[in-house]
Amino acid sequence: MRTAEIRARFLDFFAERGHTVVPSAPLPTPDPTLLFVNAGMVPFKPYLTGEVAAPWPRATSVQKCVRTLDIEEVGKTTRHGSFFQMNGNFSLGDYFKEDAIRFAWELSTKSVADGGYGLDPEKIWVTVHHSDDEARTLWREISGLPEERIVSRGDEDNFWSMGVPGPCGPCSELYYDRGPKFGRAGGPEVDEDRYMEFWNLVFMQYERGEGTGKSGYPILGELPRQNIDTGMGLERMATLLQGVDNLYEIDETRPILDRAAALAGVRYGDDEQHDVRLRVVADHVRTALMLLADGTTPGNEGRGYVLRRILRRAVRSMRQLGYEDRALPELLPVARDCMAPSYPEVAEAYERIAGQAAGEEDAFRATLRQGTAVLDTAVTKVKAEGGRSLPGKQAFLLHDTYGFPIDLTLEMAAEQGVEVDREGFAALMREQRERARADARARKSGGAVDTSALRTVLDEHGPTDWRAWDTLETDSKVLALLGAQGPVPVAREGEIVTVVLDRTPFYAESGGQDSDAGRLSGTSVEAEVLDVQRPVPGLVAHQVRITAGELAPGDALHAAVDPEWRLGARQAHSGTHVLHAALREILGPTALQSGSYNRPGYLRLDFPWRGGLSATTRSEVEEAANRALRRDLPVGVKWMTLPEAKELGALALFDETYGEKVRVVEIGGAWSRELCGGTHVSHASQVGVVALTAESSVGAGMRRLEASVGIEGFGYLARERDLVGQIAEQIQAPRAELSDRVAGLLERLKASDRENQRLRQQATVARAAELAGSAVQAAGFLVVTATADGGADEARALAMAVRDRMPAGQPAAVAVGSATDGKAALVVALNKAGRAAGSSASDLVKRLLNGRGGGSPELAQGGGLAADQLPQTLGALAGLLGEQE
């Protein structure tokens, strides 16, 4: 049974039993504590914890997940995979243990002809928590399993919580006996390779308190509403139903592995080292495909860095297998064909995906060349200084700056007989992770306020009455006043605090739109709104500075958004939609927005594209955007279900989470149709103007457009006009002729530079002949030392010119120094006879400069020398040649 059918059967089974089918959330998650969705329940967390009222009593989904904590283990065993799919059914205060157990048993053992999976009931084992007599009894009654196949286990295996105070409860797991070829008999406690877990039923029935670990916390009591959260591993079920050994051999993974093996000219199963690399390739290519499809782009931090690392590990593994050509264009189409039956969007977006992946592979190939040169230089220096270990700082530089994997550094250093200070490298990595965790904690807290205090406010008062779409002013009441340490009784002039209101007209930053600015005013207080966020779902928090008086919980306030700020924000957000549509009109549908930011007067938009846009293309995009403004296209808002929006062709942002009903913003109907929660103008002409100000690269295969809009856009154009006028006046040219006149001036400058270069070369040739004729004998060598005006390039040119004029049959050594800003550079050149005499330019430079510098045996250079030491250093050359005798 193919994986896509296993997936469809699961959803159909639960849909027939009253479950709402919920589409998979995108892999990038808005949860500030996570980079990607890493479990099937993550999108349901607000409903399971009671933070937000559930829109349905029971639901089912097949959720895409990525886990990268054990990425180094991928491929080494057949149990680790970074991308996986979790089939789940959820009861949100509806059914509980009995139905959850009945559903799992029925779907698992029901015949294939009747819509089930047809697993042999005699091979199924289950585990229950040792305290859960109810689950044990239900399993006996529903399935008829004998006592010996219902195994009791402790907290480590069969009790679930989220690691923080809140819902928790016992679990019941289903295992399938794959037979003696996979291990020992005796059940899952004896061998979890033979007995493969395929489904976990979580019974959320208790509330836990503070504590650590799996059991270091008190159980506070029963939950008022009990929930069910189950997870059936889709890849694991496919492994069972397809009769293969592991997840790398199922129909969604094995074709990628086989194509990689064919490209590399190896066969899976013949060599364990090859097999590990093939499994890495198969897993990482599929993972990268799904991350790219969901809008993640390669980068240097966060999600982008994870994707970059995955792509580069795949490419590196192919190179280790002996395949030197571009690998991703060969492998990604196979992954696309494997995943498209379940996720048609990977085929629809494939051109964009392929372009981004190809750009990243090309960048990594260049990185390998650059990093190899840096590593070689570092290893040479270590050896020259008599060392045997590459410093951890150098390994970290290669990893952090050049994207060089540590395993690649270890391997290449070992090939040159040098170890790597792994402890030093690991310490620097820990520091980097701590910085990342600190950043995550800051994002999680929404600034300086602990989210636990905000959750308390939400529990007591419910969600904020949010009016940003409807009005700029509300009469409001202060529900809570919070500082870094929690609630505060009063805030006084000059203090900055977080304020929660019962209702607000302020837009909280989201969807790329900056938060509103404005004021809060009361009978005895004035406050400036600095920032507005949604640190927990449903609650709007305002960071404010008290400018006069005092503010306390319970105070009545008038909340007012700055109307000029909101107008600018609406212009910028609508301008972003207009620019996005214009970009797709000119470049095609693959130019899909992958990130944006807008504030009054300014917008930026990131999109996948290989290579920069020409001036002509930028002008065409700008013109298409402003034509839309001139046509005064209407801007409208519609509410509909997510499937209806997709059917209509609405574009969705990948990193947003959408509810049962979504808000679709249209500009000119189908011309621009996007899911969006932002504020917008009512007609396109109100944007004013879109003036492109910059176009740049923000990573391999990713471009960024920046623009000014509204009055700021007109201001930008006015400044450009004034600048053109100033230049035209300075060179005394009519504006219409300005481009040609500037081009002419540049050509004359280039011609002057070429003439100066020619004269310098003539001078170098004349001086080289003079210096060659003044060579002195030392230690069997003709020796020339000199200084050159300018920098290292001039010294190098003179040294080579002198060397080339020395007698061919006699050993010759030339040293030329140059000094700039108090620092000197040194170049040493040897002719062929000098090399034959056993000397080396590289060794001579290193000895003259105490290990600094390097190059080839014929030509080498170095620096770091004080200018006043140059004469003494040049004079030491003859002595060094004598030491070689």
Q: Which residues are annotated as a binding site?
A: 573, 577, 676, 680
Residue 590 main-chain phi, psi, to 5 deg? -75, -15
CB 61 within 8 A of CB 42: no
Look up tokens 């992770």; give the residue: 433
**Tokens linked to 730:** 């300075």
Q: Which of 858, 806, 851, 804 has the alpha carbon at shortest distance from 827?
A: 858
Mode of pairing for the β-strands spanning 503-504 and 473-483 = unpaired
CB 444 within 8 A of CB 529: no
> Would you list which residues are annotated within the binding site for Zn(2+)?
573, 577, 676, 680
- Distance in angstroms (rounded) separating the CA atoms of residues 61 and 643: 14
Scanning 669-815, the segments in alpha helix (DSSP H) are 710-730, 738-773, 792-803
CB 297 within 8 A of CB 594: yes
Residues whose CB falls within 8 Å of the CB of residue 598, separated by 6 or more in sequence, listed in order: 512, 513, 514, 569, 572, 573, 575, 576, 604
SS3 call for 825: strand
Amino acid 377 reads T
Amino acid 141 reads E
Look up tokens 């879109």; give the residue: 690
SS3 call for 503: strand
Q: Which of 83, 87, 103 has the alpha carbon at shortest distance from 95?
A: 103
Amino acid 402 reads Y
- Distance in angstroms (rounded) separating the CA atoms of residues 497 and 542: 8
CB 421 within 8 A of CB 390: yes
Q: Which of 881, 819, 882, 824 has the alpha carbon at shortest distance from 849?
A: 824
CB 681 within 8 A of CB 574: yes
Q: How many CB atoms lie within 10 A of CB 435?
A: 10
CB 396 within 8 A of CB 374: no
Residues whose CB falls within 8 Å of the CB of residue 594, separated by 6 or more in sequence, listed in order: 295, 297, 606, 607, 608, 654, 702
- Distance in angstroms (rounded) separating the CA atoms of residues 749 and 757: 12
SS3 call for 633: coil
Give per-residue burial for 12-33: e unless 16+ CB within 10 Å, then b: ebbeebebbebebbbbbbebbe
Q: Indicate left, alpha or beta for 369 from its phi (over 0: left) and psi (-120 to 50: alpha).
A: alpha
Name 63's bridge partners: 86
Containing 864, the helix (H) or strand (E) segment is strand 859-866
For the purposes of burial, counting CB atoms within 10 Å of the CB of 242, is it exposed (0-12), middle (13-18) or buried (19 or more)?
middle
- Distance in angstroms (rounded) separating the CA atoms of residues 120 and 218: 40
